[in-house]
A and B are shown apart, each in its own frame.
Chain A
Amino acid sequence: MEKAKTYQVEGATLTIPLQYDQKTGKYMEVYPDFLEHPIYTPEGHPIMLTLEDACAFGEERSAGEGLIDCGSCRFYRPFSNTLLGVCGHERNRKA
């Protein structure tokens, strides 16, 4: 049976498959393409990966830090122990 890990992200349930990496002896999470197949929380906020390129609505967390990806955006809420998070910007919310 394929190994997987289940997360509850702000009310949304996500099952992320795991892949064994021989070099490190660790299981790695294999994330789906959230841009191609978006997944939303019950409140309509999209689940994103920390390393997705920053979008046009993003704003840096603190001045001078730079805005490169979701991880550096003040609207992004990272979920602990994973590279998943939720975009909290109203403009990206599903109507």
Chain B
Amino acid sequence: MEYMTVYDAAQKWNISERLVQKYCASGRIAGAEKFGSSWRIPVGAEKPKDQRREQSAPETQGKRGQSLSYPGLMPLMNTAFEPGKCLEFIDSMADGLEKQVALAEYYYFSGQPEKAIEQTQLLLRESDKNIQLSACLIYLYANLSVGEIQRARYALTAVQETLASDTEKHPEKRAVLSFISSAAAVLLHRPLPKELPPTQELLPRLPMGIRMFALYIIAHGVYLQKDYQRSLGIIEATLSMQTEEYPIPSIYLHLAAVMDYMSLKQVDKAKRHLLAAWELAKPDDFIQGFGEHHGLLGGMLEAVIKPEYPEDFKRIIAITYRFSAGWRKIHNPDTGHDVADNLTTTEFAASMLAARGWTNQEIADHMHISLNTVKYHITNAMQKLNVKNRQELKKYMLL
């Protein structure tokens, strides 16, 4: 068989040598073989196709109208696909690191953290930054879900070190680094790293699906500042601008809208967003986000999902317990906050609404439980937390 060098292939396909090497390393060029520190490529090998283009995902345009490519960066999050076709999409990907990351995303978002950990642990020191950072992010949250805090901290530190030591001047790559760092910080309710560039510089440089998720992170951050209307503005604008359905970021955006609307006591609108999130999530079993956000959804899962989908509800609550226990172990010591521990999910949901000023009757009506049951849960929560009134409940309720 006749071979060509990486340089020859780069010339022939009109791409950089680095990208050719990346294609070789991820197994996307049939017959390519490692040759010393480089690769030899069969002369007849075809240039790998852009996977996102094949999946009809829109391209991101650089400032000079240049098409940007982000192989390996949270490929599932960054892909528009029909709900229910997630595994089909992953199957269609060429074997390699990008596919491994996509599979890890699938495992994580469908509430299978152990498999997500298994899938990502060998990629944490991968030289390709997109792969490495994606793996770290998944590994971090998956380990929170199984209570492996040291491992979660390891991944968090790896992300922070990469950001701090980064000398990358390429703006698109800086944007990717910033996105991953924000995702690791904001969702744990930790302060944002100082090194991050301003949002307006970051967003236009991210591809569509990642940009949507970045906007979810921003909206979540704004929610934590209690600016619910602004958070909703970000969410509604993001959702209305998408030309194709990106299920993963859309689910998270809808869930953040539920948080905002519940804080504004606009239950009908919150319900609409919850159902929209559920419609996108159910076909692929993407239930992780529901479990992660339970505490902030103001009893909405109990009100809407529990009666219709009791088995799914049980699985979501199991995720909530596992995830929130891990989350608190990092959040509480790092921030000095004292988010409620030892409460059942129902106690937390009822107490959160009580702390927000809902009457017991309103909580009972919303959660479809009796007035006495509401009081039972809130008195239990107050005793466990040793607080004397609803005002004091607030500091334990992420409010």
The answer to whether A71 touches B375, judged by C-beta atoms less than 8 angstroms apart, is no
CB–CB A53/B382 < 8 A:
no
Roughly how many angstroms separate A71 CA and B378 CA in the complex, as a whole number?
13
Indicate with 1 or 0, residue by residue over B354-378, a CB within 8 angstroms of chain A CB atoms: 1001011100000000001001101
> Given A28-B384, A31-B379, A83-B379, does the pair A69, B389 have CB atoms closer than 8 Å?
yes
B383 CB–A CB distance under 8 Å = yes
B11: CB under 8 A from chain A? no
Judge whether A72 and B360 touch: CB under 8 Å: no
Decide yes or no whether A2 CB sits under 8 A from chain B: no
Q: Say whether B157 faces chain A, with CB atoms less than 8 Å apart.
A: no
A71-B388, A72-B390, A78-B388 known; A21-B354 Cβ under 8 A = no
B51-76: contact bitstring with A at CB < 8 Å (1 yes, 0 no)? Answer: 00000000000000000000000000
CB distance A66 to B357 under 8 Å? Answer: yes
A28 with B359, Cβ < 8 A, contacts A51-B375, A51-B378, A71-B389 known: no
- Counting CB contacts under 8 A, is B242 at the interface? no
Flag whether A26 is at the interface (Cβ < 8 A).
yes
Neighbouring B residues of A65 by C-beta, 8 Å: 391
Known: A52-B360, A53-B359. A68 touches B390 (CB 8 A): yes
| Assembled-state Cα–Cα distance A4/B227 (Å) | 46
**Closest CB in chain A relative to B382 CB, distance in Å:** 6
Q: How many residues of A contact B (CB 8 A)?
A: 23
A24 nearest CB across to chain B (Å): 5
If A51-B354, A51-B378, A69-B389 touch, whether A29 touches B359 (CB-CB below 8 Å) is no
B342 at interface, CB cutoff 8 A: yes
* Residue pair A24, B390 in contact (C-beta under 8 Å): no
Q: Please determine whether B375 and A31 come into contact, CB atoms closer than 8 angstroms.
A: yes
Residues of A within 8 A of B342 (CB): 23-24
Partner of B376 from A30, A52, A53 at Cβ < 8 Å: A30
Q: Roughly how many angstroms separate A24 CA and B386 CA in the complex, as a whole number? A: 12
Interface string of A23-46 (1 = CB under 8 A from B): 110101111010000000000000
- Once the chains bind, are B379 and A72 in contact (CB under 8 Å)? no
CB of B388 within 8 A of CB of A50, answer: yes
CB contacts (< 8 Å) of B5 on chain A: these are: none
A47 in contact (CB, < 8 A) = no
- Residues of A with C-beta under 8 A to B379: 28-29, 31, 49, 51, 83
Nearest A residue to B391 via CB reads A72
Tell me if B345 counts as interface (CB < 8 A to partner A). no
Cβ contact of B372, chosen from A33, A53, A71, cutoff 8 A:
A33
* Beta-carbon contact of A24 and B375 below 8 Å: no
Residues of B within 8 A of A54 (CB): 359
Return chain A residues, CB-CB under 8 Å to B360. Answer: 51-53
Interface centre among A26, A50, A68 (most CB of B within 10 A): A68
For the complex, is B380 an interface residue (Cβ under 8 Å from A)? yes
Q: Are B389 and A50 in contact (CB under 8 A)?
A: yes
Closest to B372 in A: A33
CB neighbours (8 Å) of A71 from chain B are 388-391
Which residues of chain B come closer than 8 Å to A24, judged between CB atoms?
A: 342, 384
- A30: chain B residues within 8 A (beta carbon): 376
Binary contact track A1-35/B, C-beta < 8 Å → 1, others 0: 00000000000000000000101101011110100
18 additional A-B pairs beyond A24-B342, A53-B359, beta carbons within 8 Å, are A21-B380, A23-B342, A23-B344, A28-B379, A29-B379, A29-B383, A50-B388, A51-B354, A51-B360, A51-B378, A51-B379, A51-B382, A53-B360, A68-B359, A68-B390, A71-B388, A83-B382, A83-B388
Complex A-B: 16 CB contacts under 8 Å? A23-B342, A24-B384, A26-B383, A29-B379, A33-B375, A50-B389, A51-B354, A51-B360, A51-B379, A52-B375, A53-B361, A68-B357, A71-B390, A71-B391, A72-B389, A83-B388
